[in-house]
Amino acid sequence: MAPAQDKMPLTLEDLKTAPFDPRFPNQNQTRYCYQSYLDFHRCQRIRGEEYEPCNYFKRVFTSICPNEWVEKWDTQREEGTFPGNI
- The answer, as to whether pTM is greater than 0.75, is no
Model pLDDT for residues 50-79, shown as the tens digit of each residue: 999 999 999 999 999 999 999 999 999 999
How far is residue 72's CA from residue 84's CA, in Å, rounded to a whole number?
Answer: 13
Decide if 40 is inside a domain: yes
Decide if 85 is inside a domain: no
Indicate which CATH number applies to the domain containing 75. Answer: 1.10.10.140
Give the range among 9-13, 23-27, 35-39, 56-60 with minimum mean pLDDT. 9-13
**Structural domain total, the chain:** 1
Decide if 12 is inside a domain: no
pLDDT over 90 for what percent of the chain?
Answer: 62
The answer on pLDDT for 1 being more than 50 is no
More confident residue, 84 or 28: 84
Decide if 15 is inside a domain: no
- Supply the range of the domain harboring residue 68: 27-79
